[in-house]
Amino acid sequence: MRAAAFEWLSQQVATHGDVLPREVLAKGFVLDNTRVPLVGPQGIFKPQVLRQAPLSITTSPDGPYDDSFGPDNLLRYRYRGTDPMHPDNRRLRLAMERRLPLVYFHGVVPGKYLATWPIFVVADHPESLAFSVAVGDAQHMGFPVTGSIEDSSFVSEDAASARRAYVTAAVRVRLHQRAFRERVLEAYHRQCAFCSLRHEELLDAAHILPDSEPEGEAAVRNGLSLCKLHHAAFDRYFLGLRPDLVIQVRPDILRETDGPTLVYAIQALHGAKIHFPRREALRPAPQLVEVRYQRFLESNTTPPSS
* Least confident interval from 8-22, 140-154, 234-248, 253-267: 140-154
Please report, as a single letter, which amino acid is at residue 228: K
Low-confidence winner among 12-21, 115-124, 140-149, 159-168 (lowest mean pLDDT): 140-149
Q: Given a cut of 50, is residue 1 above it in pLDDT? A: yes
Least confident of 53-57, 106-110, 148-152, 169-173: 148-152
Three-state DSSP class for 37?
coil
Per-chain mean pLDDT for the chain: 87
What average pLDDT score do residues 5-25 get? Answer: 93
* pLDDT value, residue 79: 95
- Cβ neighbours for 235, distance < 8 A, ≥ 6 positions apart: 206
Residue 143's pLDDT is 40
Give the start-to-end residue ranges of the domains of the chain. Answer: 2-185, 190-298
Question: Do the beta carbons of residue 224 and residue 188 sit within 8 Å?
Answer: yes
CA–CA dist 247, 253 (Å, integer): 13
- pLDDT tens-digit series, residues 44-82: 999 999 989 999 999 987 665 556 777 777 888 999 999
Looking at the chain, list the stretches that DSSP marks H as alpha helix, in order from N- to C-terminal side.
2-16, 22-27, 87-97, 138-141, 157-187, 228-235, 251-255, 260, 286-298
Main-chain dihedrals φ then ψ at residue 141, nearest 5 degrees:
-95, 0
Residue 18: the pLDDT is 84
pLDDT at 141 over 70: no
Smallest CA-to-CA distance from 16 within 110, 115, 101, 105 is with 115
Q: What is the mean pLDDT of residues 164-172?
A: 73
Percentage of the chain exceeding pLDDT 70: 87
pLDDT at residue 153 above 70? no
pLDDT for residue 179 = 86
pLDDT category, 157, cuts 50, 70, 90?
low
Integer Cα distance of 129 and 272 in angstroms: 52
pTM for this prediction = 0.73
Fold of the 2-185 domain? PUA domain-like (2.30.280)
Q: Report residue 29: phi and psi, to 5°.
A: -135, 170
List pLDDT tens digits, range 220-271.
Answer: 999 999 999 999 999 999 999 999 999 999 999 999 999 999 999 999 999 9
Sign of the Cα pseudo-torsion (94, 99, 100, 104, in order)? positive
Q: Are strands 239-241 and 247-249 parallel, antiparallel or unpaired?
A: antiparallel
Given its phi and psi angles, is residue 174 left (phi above 0), alpha (psi -120 to 50 degrees) or beta?
Answer: alpha
Which of the residue ranges 30-34, 69-73, 189-193, 252-256 would you say has the lowest mean pLDDT? Answer: 69-73
Beta bridge partners of residue 246, listed in sequence order: 273
